[in-house]
Amino acid sequence: MSTTTSAQPAQLTRNERLDRLPFNKAHRKLLVASGVGWAFDAMDVGLVSFAAAFILACIAALCLPERKGLNLED
């Protein structure tokens, strides 16, 4: 019996190769850009919600002049 070993390196899957990559400057830039984008998106949603409430209050004041503002008391 001959016991020869193959000189070929072990085949790694795509996920294993990605896991072995070091965290570098490009990853840091991508992480920061994603975080800044998420923060601006959250700020945009907040501003739109406040603007929508103000616009609805103005429309209610124009449509119902006898009721000043959004007075919900009957």
Strand residue runs (E) in the chain = none
Tell me the pLDDT tens digit for each residue of 54-74.
888 888 777 765 655 555 555
> In the prediction, which pLDDT does 67 show?
57
Cα separation of 34 and 37, whole Å?
5
Q: Domains of the chain: which residue ranges?
A: 14-63
Q: What is the pTM of this model?
A: 0.50
Given a cut of 60, is residue 20 above it in pLDDT? yes
Tell me the pLDDT tens digit for each residue of 25-52.
999 999 999 999 999 999 999 898 888 8
**CA of 28: how far to CAs of 15, 16, 74, in Å?**
20, 21, 57
